[in-house]
Structure 1
């Protein structure tokens, strides 16, 4: 009972922080993430500041359902929808042309957005409770190893957030595979948790 109450208190605190536009640390299926709620934060700038990373590098969104491709993408090809239905939730990030629902500060310079549905129950519940995608990057200072367990989080980074959620599962530590879906065929940007062979097997 106490664990359940503690979980609910943590979740409520995280939702409140995200709804106020503040960054939160939370678990995903690959590593621990650092994110802000897209509908509440004006831009992802605070994530760059906390990570001490060069500004301007696009930050992927974590979404709650495959339908997010249609909601936030524009002219999304059918093969991207097939990929999402096949591999989501999971370690596959799809880059699509950004739709009207994507605020300009969150778009890449070429007008795209990267979307992924994580295979982590806590992360998905957080997205559902907040009601918006979470613009998310790995929860580590730039140049450091992304944390697979809560104990690997840098205390300096934790001091920059008001809420840090944890779960008991060790993350894979393997980055998601990134596919560019803005052309006629998917183009591999980064091979990660899903192999080229897995994707080619779809035909």
Structure 2
């Protein structure tokens, strides 16, 4: 069963037919396991309450634990967040795409299951070529939560996936081992100064250094 659902995909140049197959599953409310830079993740249509519900059930995730989303470009932020603070712009310019998740005030249209009733949403622009190809293949943001049962360690390769996860997933994109580690750094940009909720791929010192940079006003012409 595991083998039938698993497709080997090139880490740097994913085959467009394979990505389109994954996109078809996401478009019909299914679940796809995919490689991100640090851990394997579970992709579902983040704008579909039913698809998000599947992710919670799959991970046996507490309902008060929000799920972050992946976007294909910053234009998608408009439909997900209430506003984009200046500090967020600085961090996005410096660290996206890559290992930084920013937590914004969620737009009213965002599924409440996704935010776990917190009214906030974590968003990342992925840097891994397969993750990037996947989010670019659909017209909606996708969930980016790690492909593990809640409370268990994340998976650096597909043979580490729990049988329960494999059983209820529609497709697994296997790009070989990924880097592992704590995953993305998570920064809440809804407060001033922004607050680091979890230190991961991007060191806290780099975040603080970036936030201290002044945005220079345009010189008078």
Matched residues in 2 for 1:98 and 1:61: separation?
12
Alignment of 1:33-52 (within 5 A): 33-42=41-50, 44-52=52-60
Structure 2 distance, partners of 1:146, 1:126, is: 20
What are the residue-to-residue correspondences of 1:85-124 with 2, within 5 Å?
85-124=93-132
What's the CA shift for 1:35?
Answer: 2.0
Tell which deviates more after alignment, 81-90 or 154-163. Answer: 154-163
Q: How far apart are residue 169 of structure 1 and its match?
A: 4.9
Larger Rg: 2
Of residues 161, 165, 180 in structure 2, which corresponds to 1:157?
Answer: 165
The count of aligned residue pairs is: 201
Instruction: Decide whether aligned partners of structure 1 residues 185 and 108 sit closer, same or farther in structure 2, where only a CA change above 3 A counts.
Output: farther
Alpha-carbon distance change, 111 to 40 in structure 1, aligned in 2, over 3 angstroms: closer
Checking the alignment, whether the CA contact within 8 Å between 2:187 and 2:195 is kept in structure 1 is yes
Per the TM alignment, residue 10 of structure 1 is displaced from its structure 2 partner at its CA by 2.6
**Cα gap change, 1:61 to 1:139, in 2 (>3 Å):** same
Task: Tell whether the 8 Å contact from 1:178 to 1:190 is kept in structure 2 after alignment.
Answer: yes
Cα distance in 2 between the residues matched to 1:184 and 1:200: 12
User: In the alignment, which residue of structure 2 is the partner of 1:190?
Assistant: 198
Deviations 1:121-145 (A, max 9, x none): 1111111111111112111122322
Using structure 2 for the length normalisation, give the TM-score. 0.82
| 1:44 counterpart SS class | helix
Assess if the C-alpha contact under 8 Å between 1:62 and 1:136 holds in 2: yes
C-alpha distance in structure 1 between counterparts of 2:174 and 2:166, whole Å: 12
What's the counterpart of residue 35 of structure 2? 27
Pair 1:30–1:91, CA change in 2 (3 A):
same
Aligned partner of 1:146 among 154, 157, 161: 154
SS at match of 1:93: strand
Summarize deviations over 1:130-164 as a string: whole Å, max 9, x none: 11111121111223221112222223311111111
| Gapped regions of structure 2 (runs ≥ 5) | 1-8, 213-221
